[in-house]
Amino acid sequence: MFDKFGEMDSAKEINERAENLLKEGDIEGLKTMAKENGIPEEYVEMYTGNAIPFLTDEITAANGKLDLECEELKPKGLMEDWCEYIRGLTMENLDMAAAVRKKGKRLKSCMASLLAYSFANRQQVDKEIVKEAKISAGRVDFGVPGSRDARRLIREYYQGGAGK
């Protein structure tokens, strides 16, 4: 994912690298670095054309990283919703956007914490519901965090439990 330029810790680091590449006239390098970080090519064009003063901001940098990770993980169903929860949190709070961008923070690890919570908090589904669903298993257990708990767990993973 971060093959040529490595993982960058923040929008500031991306912008500093972009500025250096632009000063060196390395537009192809700038495009590669932006692509590795999930920054849209249109932003590169606007940046190199002086239409915008910097390549990215915290929200775009965080969501660019999430885009790349989602492309790699290919989440389905509820896990897609969890990705959208993360996106929403990055748009609500710049500290959260910065936390998502941090080196070493990974969508798959966040998903793992949500899955672990789901497994630890599963409950037996009422037999009448199982029967109505036409499931022939003798017992069905189910556990998924609600929206509030999912958002709390996401914040805890990315921000270390801070209630930001």
Give the model confidence (pLDDT) of 80-111 as tens digits.
999 999 999 999 999 999 999 999 999 999 99
Output the pLDDT for position 138: 85
Tell me if 17 is assigned to some domain: yes
pTM of the model: 0.86
Q: How far apart are CA 78 and CA 18, in angstroms?
A: 36
Mark whether 86 and 157 lie in a shared domain: yes
Mark whether 153 and 88 lie in a shared domain: yes
What domain count does the chain have?
Answer: 2
Q: Within 13 Å and on the Cβ side, how many CA atoms surround 30?
A: 24
Q: How far apart are CA 90 and CA 133, in angstroms?
A: 37
Answer yes or no: is pLDDT of 125 > 90: yes
Mark whether 120 and 90 lie in a shared domain: yes
Q: Residue 149: which domain range? A: 78-164
Q: How far apart are CA 7 and CA 103, in angstroms?
A: 6
Mark whether 38 and 100 lie in a shared domain: no
Nearest alpha carbon to residue 105 among 56, 152, 164, 155 = 155
Structure tokens at 95: 């500290």
Mark whether 91 and 26 lie in a shared domain: no
